[in-house]
Amino acid sequence: MSQSGNPAVEAIDRQILELLAKDGRMSYTDLGRATGLSTSAVHQRVKRLEQRGLILGYGATVNYAEIGVPLTALISIRPIDPSQPDDCPDRLEGLPEIESCWSVAGEESYVLKVRTTTPAELELLLGRIRSAANVSTRTTIVLSTYYENRPVGH
The model's pLDDT over 40-92, given as tens digits with 9 standing for 90+, comes to 999 999 999 999 999 999 988 889 999 999 999 999 999 999 899 999 999 99
Which pLDDT value is given to residue 2?
44
Report the sign of the C-alpha dihedral through residues 126, 131, 133, 134, in that order. Answer: positive
- Taking Cα atoms as reference points, which of 11, 12, 16 lies closest to residue 27? 16
The third-level CATH classification (topology) of the domain covering 11-52 is Arc Repressor Mutant, subunit A (1.10.10)
pTM of the model: 0.81
CATH placement of domain 64-142: 3.30.70.920
Residue type, 147: Y
Cα gap 17→24, rounded to integer Å: 9
Q: Where in the chain is the domain with CATH 1.10.10.10?
A: 11-52
* Backbone phi, psi, residue 116, to 5°: -140, 175
Q: What is the pLDDT of residues 96-119, one digit of tens each?
A: 999 999 999 999 999 999 999 999
